[in-house]
Structure formats: C-alpha cells, structure tokens
Amino acid sequence: MAGATRKVGKTGAANAITADLVAVLVAVTDGEPKIMTIANDGALPSGPFEFAHRSLQTGLRAWVEAQTGHPLGYVEQLYTFADRGRGGDAKSLHSISISYLGLTREDKVGKGFQAHWSGWYEYFPWEDQRAGLSASLAKTLASRLRAWAKSADTTALQRERWQRAAITFGLDERDWNEELVLQRYELLYEAGLIPEAARDRSTAAAVIPGRPMTGDHRRILATGIARLRAKIKYRPVVFELMPAEFTLLQLQRSVEALAGRLVHKQNFRRLIEQQQLVEETGAIAAETVGRPAKLFRFRHGVLAERAVAGTKLPLSRT
C-alpha cells in the first residue's frame, strides 16, 4: 500500500497473490465441542479460493455441503491473515488466508473424505475450565509462565510479563475470562511454550500439553473459539448447534461446553425463559435418570420479531 491515494479499482496487476479459505466448523455432541479437521487431525479444512460462487460465503457453504452432505447453519467471517512471521518462508507472504466460522450439527462425514470431528479442547486443554484445570496442567502452566516472566531483562519488563500472564490466565486471584482465547494463545506462542513457536523460530523449548496444527491453524481456531464464546452471550447462536428438540439441561451443557465454564442452573433457566427464546414442544424427554425434563424448541420467531439487541448506552428519552 504505497503512499498514494489511488482511485479504487486501479489495482496493480503486478501484485498478484493467491487466497485460501480456512474454515472453523463447530458442532457440539454430548456436551463436547468439536471441530472438523483434516490431514490426520492436524489441520483445519481449507482450500484454494475459487471464483465459481457469488460470494465467499456461498462458496464456503457449497463446499461444506459437498463435504458433509448437509447444509451449514450459521456462517460468519473471522479474519484475514497475511502475516509473514507465522507462515514460515517468504513465499507465504504472497498468500492470504480468509477464515470463517461455521456452526452446524455434527453428522457423519461422507465416505471417501478424510475429514473428522475432533474435540477442540484437545488443541486447547487449558481452555476447559468446567471442572477446573487438572492439578498437573495448572502447575505446569503457572510455573512455565512465571519462568518466562522472570527471564525478561529488566524488572519492569518482568513485572509487565507476569501481569499479562496473570490477567489472561486468571492467576493471582484474578477471575478467569473465557473470551481471552486468542490472547492466551498469543502469549504462549510468544513465551515459546507451544510447538508452533519452536517450529517457527527454531528454538527448542519445553512445551505445554495441547496438540499443534499446521501453519497458522491453531491461531485461527483460537480466533474462532473466542468469537463464538463472545457471540453466545448476545446472539442466540447456540441453537444452531442444537438438535430440533432439546431439554434445558442439554442447552445448558452446550453453552458450558463452548464457554468452558459451568453456569448456575436456575439462573440460566430464568435467563432463557425471560428472553422467550424457547417454547415447550409438549413432549417429555425419554431415557433419563431422575425426573424427566420437558422438551423445548427454539422460537424462530424471535429472529424476525426483534432485532436481538446489542448492549446499552445510558440513553436519554428526549
């Protein structure tokens, strides 16, 4: 982007590049969030960008449909990456990756495809705080982060590093913030605690648990998880991941799975009901232990009825 205010459309043909689409496809089964993976579960589904479709979104939809045999529910663009450092060689500079988040219900992948569903916490063990972290992981994380902080040159920098680690990982009595998925990943990368960092910088360091992925893919996945965790709080997107009928506990378990945290049962119900997001089907859940639960369905009407609100300003009425 040279220092000229050129008119739009006059793009220099010299700057030809290639574009890839990368997809974070999410489903939830039995209270576990899954993502679609390929290449022996070491990569996100991706492929070259083609111009056969009206838009990037429709192209992605068609492609996923061809892969899984059923339509994609909710789709949203995540981010476009073109960074050098991460990709590796200089050649990668001439390629950009446009990433998408897609929500669907898990389904059998068509025969002849190598795609699978993998639990997303395989790649981010520290993001699952539902039962608290395992004692060993918690200890490893804390000590490695502290070591990284201490390895800084000045005490000011040391304190700064530790503060960052403490904020993002909820250490030192701070609260855990489930939305900081990307910040945590970036920090671990910077601290050299994950295999991708060692690979890109050829520094061998002690890494922490969590499966790596090709190229930037784990970073893209982190972006997707973060986006989804933020989104479920103000848009009714969870329902894209649920079957047509479900109990409130199943709904709660799905939210907990995505957020990586447990929620208060009664308050969760009150929230859902007061927003009138669901309605009873009249049926009752079978095959349960304990008192059987009512089945609910999503009220599709809400999408049409109201512009499912964002957050608030202290508006004045005049």
**Which residues contact DNA by CB under 7 A?**
247-249, 264-267, 269-271, 274, 284, 288-294, 312, 314-317
CB-CB contact of 147 with 158 (8 Å): no
Residue 249 binds which entry of a copy of itself, DNA, none, CB below 5-8 Å type-dependent: DNA
Token pair of 68 as six digits: 């899984």
- DSSP 8-class letter at 289: S
**How far apart are alpha carbons 159 and 233 in whole angstroms?**
33
Q: Is 101 exposed, middle or buried (0-12, 13-18, 19+ CB in 10 A)?
A: buried
Among DNA, a copy of itself, none, what does residue 292 contact (CB within 5–8 Å per kind)? Answer: DNA
29 binds, among DNA, a copy of itself, none (CB under 5 to 8 A by kind): none
236's tokens: 């009714």
Instruction: Decide which of DNA, a copy of itself, none touches 84; Cβ closer than 5 to 8 Å per partner kind.
Output: a copy of itself
- One-letter amino acid for residue 23 of the chain: A
Residue 38 — φ and ψ, nearest 5°? Answer: -130, -175
Among 30, 114, 206, 292, contact with a copy of itself (rule: CB under 8 A):
114
316 part of the interface to a copy of itself, by CB under 8 A: yes
How far apart CA 131 and CA 17 sit, in angstroms, is: 46
What DSSP character marks residue 43? B
Residue numbers 124-183 binding a copy of itself by CB under 8 A:
160, 163, 167-168, 177, 179-180, 183
Nearer to a copy of itself, 50 or 107 (CB): 50
Q: How far is the CB of 239 from DNA (least distance, A)?
A: 17
Query: What residues from 237 to 296 belong to the interface with a copy of itself (CB under 8 A)?
Result: 255, 259, 261-265, 267-268, 270-271
